Structure 1
Amino acid sequence: MEIIILPKASKSRNCIHLGGGALSIYLCLMLICILLIVYGAYCLGVKMQFVAQQQSLAQMKTLAEDWQATLEQQQVVLSTTLHQAEEGLGTLAQRVGHLQADLVRLNALGQRLIVHADLEEGEFDFTNPPAMGGPELPQIEESLKLNDFLATLGQLEQEMADRRQQLSLLETVLVERGMRQAALPAGRPVRQGWLSSKYGYRTDPFNGRREFHNGVDFASKAGTEIMAVAAGIVTWVGERSGYGKMVEVDHGNGYVTRYAHNQKNLVQVGESIVKGQPIAVMGSSGRSTGPHVHLEVLHEGRTVDPLRFVGTAKGS
């Protein structure tokens, strides 16, 4: 093979003679250079792609960490919200329980007062809502609806308002007929027994300190019947801290009596009782040193000396 080189500025010519072997080597070198360039470009592309993938993975990792932190914050907020909701629901449930207990007490009290007042049947009805009426006025429809729980609470509150209104009217009738005296505490809670502790400050039998005793104690043998000192409605039956087994009776006019440390209670919550009716059996439950009944008299929520009422009944 002959290669002729002709420069523009010169009319002479240079010739390079390549044999068959040299040409083959020359072509092989060119092919190797081309392959090296192609391989280098391929490696560079793979490296750039790897770097791009690593950057993308780092960005995804950072984003995932941000999402994880956001989810943890939302979880804390959700837990706090759920805790607050549970507390609010517990408060509402407790409110409903108090309303239901008050409603039972008011209904029983109303029925008892009707019987004692000797009113005509139907004049006061505590089993049905009070009679009322009036034309229906057009109202704009509301888009929000109360859930069942709030509807129940509202219904109970309305029933309580109705019962209070009825009892207020009934109380006026009873005042006119002189029925309040029948529900006033009077007499002893036991037929036989002796006064073992008075109302007021005393030396506590358990710790020896001077403490206030908010009732009077009548001691007798275990099993002695404990009687109600006035007519009323039973509002508490069961265990209470320090009192042991206890019965609480609401007599109206702001008066409430308690009979504590019983061996056994004989009445139920909501039951209407009369003066002298056995309501418990004497024992020594709770914070007690022996068989006796602890009698408390409360007026408008404050304790008063029961001995003011014990001697007001005949034979006491």
Structure 2
Amino acid sequence: MSFTILQRSRNGIRSLKVTKLGIMSLLTFAVTLPVITAVGGYQLAKYRGHIASVDQDTINDWRTQLADQRTELDKAKERSQKKLNALTARLGILQAHVRRLDAAGSRIANIAGIDANEFNFSQPPAIGGPEEPESVSSNSSDAEFLTLLDDLSSQLLSREQQLSAIESLVLDKHIGVESYISGRPITKGWMSSFYGRRTDPFSGRPAWHAGLDFAGKEGAPVVSTAAGVVSFVGDRHGYGLLIEISHGDGFVTRYGHNKTALVKVGEVISKNQQIAEMGNSGRSTGAHVHYEILKNGRQINPLRYVNRRSKS
């Protein structure tokens, strides 16, 4: 079986003969083409969907990594800021300490009448000597900051040495007669306990008493028995509010159980100057002053110093 297709053209009528095999081939192609197209489209869509899924997972992973890195960066910034704040605070404390030492040194030098050119606190001390090079951090700013702190620490040490020298000059050369320990640490009152062995007022047992007690009214003046420099002000076990004054040549006087301190560490004190108000702080049964004298760190009997006359 076959078909003949006639087609008119300029050259006349042309004929095309279609056999049964050709017709079957066309029908087969027409039937299978939609199926092939559908299967191909499905596979293509599936492939594209798989690629898109992989890309999205990668993007999500990148986002997670970026978030983790951002968190670590924030933590690093926070740690750096804390370190910087701590170092800045340390620097501020050191600078304030230097200013206080400078002021105290200038004040003591002025009181002592020492030549300002001998102890000039406005100029850095002259120092020198060969030094070995040392390794520094790769972070130059950190190295410079730490160097600044080391320089300030060196300045503090230098100031303390200068003040110690000035203290000796003040006590040995310019205080003179006033550094002579004599008299009582009170202006009004009475001696209520002697130096040596006594009955402890709390336990009732024999105990050693390393000073003299002077009783009086709470708030009464407590005075220094000699000129010197205040070396300690604060609470101490058994003494309550305690004041210590250094008088040079190894002598130190102590005044315990005070109500209020009127002096501070580093202050230059003259003889008979009020340093505190009598109180009842610490291990005490009433308002009084516990008075001690130390020679080279050892407590001695203050009685002969209390009874001796002042130098004229």
1:94-150 Cα shifts (integer Å, max 9, x gaps) = 444544444444333333333xxxx6x767566754999xxxxxxxxxxx7897997
Q: Secondary structure at the match of 2:226?
A: coil
Q: Quick check: 1:279 aligned with 2:272?
A: no
Q: Quick check: 1:2 aligned with 2:2?
A: yes
Distance in 2, Cα, partners of 1:93 & 1:181: 41
- Quote how far apart the aligned CAs of 1:284 are: 2.0
Give 1:140's aligned residue.
none
Give 1:161's aligned residue.
158
Q: Quick check: 1:290 aligned with 2:289?
A: no
Moved more, 221-230 or 71-80: 71-80
Give 1:112's aligned residue.
111
Give 1:311's aligned residue.
304
Q: Is the 8 A contact 1:106 1:163 kept in 2?
A: no
Give 1:138's aligned residue.
none
Distance in 1, Cα, partners of 2:85 & 2:206: 43
**Residue type at the aligned position of 1:35:** P
Over 3 Å counting, the alpha-carbon distance change for 1:79 and 1:169 in structure 2 is closer
1:168-221 Cα shifts (integer Å, max 9, x gaps) = 48846975x59566435444312433244858999694x999999876543322
Q: Quick check: 1:16 aligned with 2:12?
A: no
Distance in 1, Cα, partners of 2:94 & 2:295: 24
1:88-167 equivalent positions in 2, closer than 5 A: 88-114=87-113, 129=123, 154=151, 157-158=154-155, 161=158, 164-165=161-162
**Residue type at the aligned position of 1:16:** K
Q: Secondary structure at the match of 1:230?
A: coil
**Aligned-pair identity (%):** 23
Give 1:226's aligned residue.
222
Structure 2: tracts of 5 or more residues without a match: 5-16, 127-139
Give 2:133's aligned residue.
none
Distance in 2, Cα, partners of 1:48 & 1:199: 105
Distance in 1, Cα, partners of 2:110 & 2:243: 21
- Quote how far apart the aligned CAs of 1:227 are: 0.5
Q: Is the 8 A contact 1:217 1:292 kept in 2?
A: yes
- Quote how far apart the aligned CAs of 1:223 are: 2.2
Distance in 1, Cα, partners of 2:104 & 2:185: 23
1:14-53 Cα shifts (integer Å, max 9, x gaps) = 94299xxx99xx76x7456433433332332222222222
Q: Secondary structure at the match of 1:249?
A: strand
The Cα RMSD (Å) is 5.1
**Residue type at the aligned position of 1:232:** G
Over 3 Å counting, the alpha-carbon distance change for 1:210 and 1:152 in structure 2 is farther
Over 3 Å counting, the alpha-carbon distance change for 1:236 and 1:94 in structure 2 is farther
Distance in 1, Cα, partners of 2:177 & 2:154: 31
Distance in 1, Cα, partners of 2:232 & 2:91: 22
Over 3 Å counting, the alpha-carbon distance change for 1:34 and 1:127 in structure 2 is same
1:154-174 Cα shifts (integer Å, max 9, x gaps) = 468548636845864884697
- Quote how far apart the aligned CAs of 1:282 are: 0.5
Distance in 2, Cα, partners of 1:221 & 1:284: 10
Over 3 Å counting, the alpha-carbon distance change for 1:167 and 1:14 in structure 2 is closer
Give 1:263's aligned residue.
259
Over 3 Å counting, the alpha-carbon distance change for 1:123 and 1:248 in structure 2 is same
**Residue type at the aligned position of 2:20:** I
Over 3 Å counting, the alpha-carbon distance change for 1:231 and 1:244 in structure 2 is same
Q: Is the 8 A contact 2:167 2:229 kept in 1?
A: no
TM-score by length of structure 1 reads: 0.60
Distance in 2, Cα, partners of 1:254 & 1:44: 103
Over 3 Å counting, the alpha-carbon distance change for 1:313 and 1:258 in structure 2 is closer
TM-score by length of structure 2 reads: 0.61
Q: Is the 8 A contact 1:186 1:312 kept in 2?
A: yes
**Residue type at the aligned position of 2:40:** A
1:31-79 Cα shifts (integer Å, max 9, x gaps) = 5643343333233222222222222233333444445555555555555
